[in-house]
Amino acid sequence: MPNETEDRIARVVDLLRLEKDVIRNGEFAALPDLVARKEAALAELEGTPARLLAGVRQMALENQRLLDAALKGVQAVRKRLAEIRQSARSYQSYDAQGRARKIGPESGSVERRA
């Protein structure tokens, strides 16, 4: 029985290592399948003493930290892209009195001169 438990733990560890590589390489499309495999492997460990799973827990926490950092990075990129898009439409400056003022493309019609 101990060998069977060790084999199950080793499977989860392998999946956690794979998950870590996937996160670090930004291959997020592979995560749903990997999560399903990991959940199935973890279900097999139900009833395993906590002392045997300490390493697995640490690896899972590290992967969670990596995912959190990746999410923060994606959010920062989205925010920066939104700022870039907004600045392409208009620019904010200040007038002589220190009031914020948007400077954007002139609206209206085009005047043609002969």
CA 113 to chain centre: 54
Which 3 state secondary structure label does DSSP give 100? strand
For residue 20, tell me if it sits in a domain.
yes
Q: Which of 15, 65, 20, 22 is nearest to 42 (CA)?
A: 15
Domain assignment present for residue 105? The answer is no
Q: Examine residue 96 and state whether it is found in any structural domain, yes or no.
A: no
Q: Does residue 106 fall inside a structural domain?
A: no
The reply to whether 108 falls in a domain is no
For residue 28, being part of any structural domain is answered with: yes
Is residue 18 in some structural domain? Answer: yes
Give the up-direction half-sphere exposure of residue 56: CA atoms within 13 A in the CB hemisphere. 22
* CA dist 63 → 25, 84, 89, 97, 101 (Å): 13, 31, 39, 51, 45
Backbone angles phi, psi at 101, to 5 degrees: -145, 130
Q: Is the pTM of this model over 0.75?
A: no
Q: How many domains, the chain?
A: 1
**Statement: residue 106 has pLDDT above 70:** no
C-alpha to C-alpha distance for 20 and 14, rounded to whole angstroms: 10
User: By residue range, what is the domain housing residue 8?
Assistant: 2-89
Could you report the per-residue pLDDT of 32-82, keeping only the tens digit for each? 999 999 999 999 999 999 999 999 999 999 999 999 999 999 999 999 999
In a domain, 114, yes or no: no
Helix (H) or strand (E) holding 51: none
The pLDDT tens digits of the residues spanning 39-53 come to: 999 999 999 999 999
Q: What is the pLDDT of residue 93?
A: 81
pLDDT at 1: 53
Mean model confidence pLDDT for the chain: 88
